[in-house]
Amino acid sequence: MPRIHKPRAGSLQFWPRSRSKTHYANVKSWANKDKVLAFAGYKAGMTHVLENNQKSKVAKTISVPVTIIECPPLKPLSLRFYKKNPYGSQLLSEISSKNQNKELSKKIRLSKSKKEQKVPESYDYIKLVVYTQPKLTNLGKKKPDIFEIGIPNNIEEAKKLLESELKLEDIFKSGQYVDIHSITKGKGFQGPVKRFGISLKSHKSEKKRRSAGNLGSFTPRKTDWRVPQHGQLGYFKRTEYNKLVYLIDSDPKKVNQSGGIKGYGDLKNDFILIKGSVGGPKKRLIIFSETIRNKKDKAAPEILQISQESKQ
């Protein structure tokens, strides 16, 4: 057989390959829409649904893999007002919510000041800081996760959001496209074969078999950063664009599997079904936002059945 030439795999766009600082993503780009732009939930696992196939004349139903994400309501923590400057964005002031869960003290130090916080005279945009409520799930933890989401640049609407819980069905709907922001599964220290997909060296090669055959030229005497070498793999921040929302529902009995979802347990809150796979292991926080690429929403798929068979 001819020898296959496969020097390496993996995009150099994702560089450097370093671990994420947090276990949930920091969203940098937001869509320009007049609504709340994001929500978050905990990844429960995967299953498949039977969908009515309208395109094919042969197969009436098709099986589609979906990811289950449990989405308990989000609670607002504060409003942040930002001003753009030549060096980025500057935080001007912050207005805190009055109704806060006691579990927040496990994550941050709560302010005891009773001074009335004021809105700055001029600002460029507003962000809403929210936190999750894992105590409402079967995760087995109480410490919330805190992150920012984009909202309309309207102070009156922002103040209304500050005093009410955010629910999934009020922000997204079935049949629309979203962007998924997640931290992938960590794989620790790995070699170049697993990390970059280079081929194994032949049996006639000397010394090493699972390494790059050539680390660079003899002159200059240095190793280029593009050479595939060992290092950290996984636990990276990744964004997937235009993922289809198959279903948003408030009845967890529709997806709970016999014996519980493997590695997660039973759902207790609203859930969302995303077509295909989503980065990250089970129980990790997944943030999904309004898509920043032009993708028209379509009618919600006609789901005939959701598989509830045990995956144990």
> 118-134: per-residue pLDDT in tens?
888 889 999 999 999 99
Q: Which CATH number fits domain 74-166: 2.10.10.90, 3.30.1430.10, 3.40.50.1220, 3.40.50.720?
A: 3.30.1430.10
Residue 5 has pLDDT above 80, yes or no: no
Q: How confident is the model at residue 298 (pLDDT cuts 50, 70, 90)?
A: confident
What confidence score (pLDDT) does residue 26 get? 93
Whole-angstrom Cα Rg for the chain: 23
What confidence score (pLDDT) does residue 72 get? 96
Instruction: Quote the pTM value.
Output: 0.91
What confidence score (pLDDT) does residue 191 get? 94
Residue 113 has pLDDT above 70, yes or no: no
Over residues 9-61, the pLDDT tens digits come to 878 888 888 899 999 999 999 999 889 999 999 999 999 999 887 776 777 88
Over residues 182-201, the pLDDT tens digits come to 999 999 999 999 999 888 88
Residue 145 has pLDDT above 90, yes or no: yes
What confidence score (pLDDT) does residue 66 get? 96
Going 250 to 34 to 161 to 90, the CA torsion angle's sign is: positive
Q: What separation, in Å, do the N-terminal and C-terminal C-alpha atoms of the chain show? A: 42
Which H or E element spans position 195?
Answer: helix 192-196
For 166, list phi and psi in degrees, rounded to 5. -100, 130
**pLDDT, average across residues 252-276:** 93
| DSSP category for residue 218 | S
Over residues 71-91, the pLDDT tens digits come to 999 999 999 999 999 988 999
| DSSP category for residue 199 | P
Contact in structure between 285 and 237 (CB atoms under 8 Å) = no
Name the CATH superfamily for 13-26+41-72+170-207+228-312: Translation factors (2.40.30.10)
Read off the tokens for 243: 């993922």
For residue 32, how far is the Cα from the chain centroid?
20
CA atoms of 247 and 239, how far apart (whole Å): 21
What confidence score (pLDDT) does residue 252 get? 92
What confidence score (pLDDT) does residue 299 get? 84
What confidence score (pLDDT) does residue 59 get? 72
Read off the tokens for 123: 């600002």
Domain coordinates in residue numbering, the chain: 13-26+41-72+170-207+228-312, 74-166
What confidence score (pLDDT) does residue 121 get? 85
